[in-house]
């Protein structure tokens, strides 16, 4: 079994902007890319999401500030262990009542599971969140951008 490794944020140039699922996964990957040896605070991970967002990451249309605050609350403990976020899974979840994509609007739902892992073999508690990503683009020739990203309050 391989040891967990810090999250690698995809290069925006390599993410298929024509694929709304790929864009949503890139945002979530970046959002969970916390690493206390590389980042000054949890806000650094939020800044890495910006390439795929339509608005500034701290806009109220995104629940990213709630995620940032949750991790910031434990940042000192993470730092004591030189911890990073290890993403266990970003799983798409579809239902029979999902809204079909149009040429300019798409919705995606994901479950994200992450464990804080210390470089000293410490493990924090498993964190699991459900996310709803709403994406838009001006025309079918434009790349998708996340216009809203929400998680139910019960998941935080």
* DSSP codes, 64-82: HHHHHHHHHHTHHHHHHTT
SS3 sequence of 89-115: EEEECCCCCCCCCCCCEEEEEEEEEEE
Q: 132 in helix, strand or coil?
A: strand
How far from each other are the two terminal CA atoms of the chain, in whole angstroms? Answer: 30
What is the model's pLDDT at position 70? 87
* Domain range annotation of the chain: 18-155
* For range 82-88, the mean pLDDT: 96
Nearest-angstrom CA–CA distance, 40 and 9:
17
> What is the per-residue pLDDT across 35-54, written as a single tens digit (0 to 9) for each?
999 999 999 999 999 999 99
Four-CA torsion 152, 28, 117, 70, nearest 10 degrees: -40
Residues 23-28, mean pLDDT to the nearest whole number: 98
- Nearest Cα neighbor of 86 from 130, 126, 45 is 126
Q: What is the pLDDT of residue 95?
A: 81
The predicted model gives 122-150 an average pLDDT of 96
What is the rounded average pLDDT of the residues 66-74? 90
Which residue has tokens 């970046």?
30
CATH of domain 18-155: 3.10.450
What is the pLDDT at residue 3?
Answer: 76
Which letter, b or e, does each residue of 57-80 get, where b requires 16 or more Cβ atoms within 10 Å of its Cβ? beeebbbbbebbeebeebbeebee
Q: Could you tell me what percent of the chain has a pLDDT over 70? A: 97
Q: Judge contact between 20 and 135, C-beta under 8 A.
A: yes
Give pLDDT tens digits for 139-153.
999 999 999 999 986
- Identify the CA nearest to 150 among candidates 51, 54, 47, 28: 28
Give which of 10, 20, 13 is closest to 135, Cα–Cα. Answer: 20
Nearest to 149 by CA among 84, 72, 89, 62: 62
Task: State residue 94's pLDDT score.
Answer: 87
């Amino acid at each position: 079994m391989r040891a967990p490794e810090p999250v690698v944020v995809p290069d925006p140039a390599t993410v298929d902007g024509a694929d709304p699922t790929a864009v949503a996964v890139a945002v979530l990957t970046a959002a969970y890319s916390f690493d206390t040896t590389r980042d000054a605070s949890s806000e650094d991970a939020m800044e890495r999401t910006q390439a795929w967002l339509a608005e500034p990451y701290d806009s109220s249309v995104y629940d990213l500030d709630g995620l940032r605050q949750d991790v910031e609350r434990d940042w000192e403990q993470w730092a004591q262990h030189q911890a990073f976020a290890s993403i266990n899974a970003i799983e798409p979840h579809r239902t029979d009542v999902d809204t079909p994509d149009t040429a300019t609007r798409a919705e995606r739902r994901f479950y994200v599971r992450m464990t804080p892992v210390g470089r000293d073999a410490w493990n924090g508690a498993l964190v699991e969140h459900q996310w709803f990503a709403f994406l838009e683009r001006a025309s079918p020739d434009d790349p998708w951008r996340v216009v809203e990203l929400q998680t139910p309050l019960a998941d935080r």
